[in-house]
């Protein structure tokens, strides 16, 4: 069988057949399932983190400075600079609505101009998390500051405004490692280089998430305390 692909270069396809599904862990935010996947007659056991999905916001002010927040991330044990971001923790919101909420809650801003900047899977070899990164411009601070709804890691979120070119250099130098910051900053820099003419509308259908929902690969987090 030839391993040279001669079709269109774009993500495609439907889930392979799977059986013997076992929920190994069922947490408040995500689950871990194991199942046997049929690879054209060859069966292999796979562990999958079933994730709710997330959004992030690359917010640019009138001076083309990127808004980053400093937040502790316990799995890597470091304070990371990241764009405002959050889980798709309800099916009652679109990605755009979640992005607007997170920009207010984590940074204390609203935006008059929104576009889709980037869609990606965070770690498709092990989890089902799809992320949509938005570009927000025409920023306005909320009158009473950010809406404090978080706890623990989100109780204190210092802000930094970084010129887009400087943010790009920080990413390329390995000084900023958050995936939403890395991909979002580089995508914004590339989009600006093209005159912003490749941006998609903020309400464009999110095909990756719709497919995950349709195939049962999205986990809706439980309320706190359950």
**Positions marked active-site:** 154
DSSP symbol at 10 = S
Q: In what order do the strands lie in the sheet with 18-26?
A: 18-26, 31-39, 42-50
Rounded CA-CA distance 63/60 in Å is 8
DSSP symbol at 92 = T
Closest CA to 81 of 192, 196, 141, 166: 166
Rounded CA-CA distance 129/51 in Å is 5
Please report the sign of the dihedral spanned by the C-alpha atoms of residue 19, residue 25, residue 30, residue 32.
negative
Q: How far is CA 6 from the centre of its chain?
A: 31
Angstrom distances, CA of residue 46 to CA of 29, 36, 128, 151, 213: 20, 6, 13, 34, 20
């Amino acid at each position: 069988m030839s391993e040279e692909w001669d079709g269109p270069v774009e993500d495609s396809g439907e889930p392979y057949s799977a059986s013997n599904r076992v929920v190994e862990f069922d947490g408040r935010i995500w689950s871990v399932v194991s199942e046997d996947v049929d690879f054209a007659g060859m069966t292999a056991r796979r562990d999958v983190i079933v994730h709710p999905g997330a959004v992030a916001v690359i917010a640019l002010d009138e001076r083309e400075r990127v808004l980053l927040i400093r937040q502790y991330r316990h799995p890597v044990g470091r304070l990371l600079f990241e764009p405002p971001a959050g889980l798709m923790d309800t099916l009652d919101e679109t990605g755009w609505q979640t992005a607007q909420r997170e920009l207010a809650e984590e940074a204390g801003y609203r935006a008059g101009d929104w576009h889709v900047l980037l869609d990606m899977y965070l770690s498709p070899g092990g989890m089902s998390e799809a992320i949509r990164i938005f570009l927000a411009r025409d920023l306005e601070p909320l009158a009473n500051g950010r809406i404090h709804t978080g706890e623990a890691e989100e109780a204190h979120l210092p802000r930094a405004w970084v010129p887009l070119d400087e943010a790009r250099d920080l990413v390329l130098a390995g000084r900023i490692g958050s995936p939403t910051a890395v991909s979002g900053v580089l995508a914004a820099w590339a989009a600006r280089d093209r005159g912003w003419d490749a941006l998609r509308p903020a309400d464009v259908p999110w095909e990756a998430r719709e497919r995950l929902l349709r195939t049962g690969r999205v986990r809706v987090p439980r309320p706190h305390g359950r």
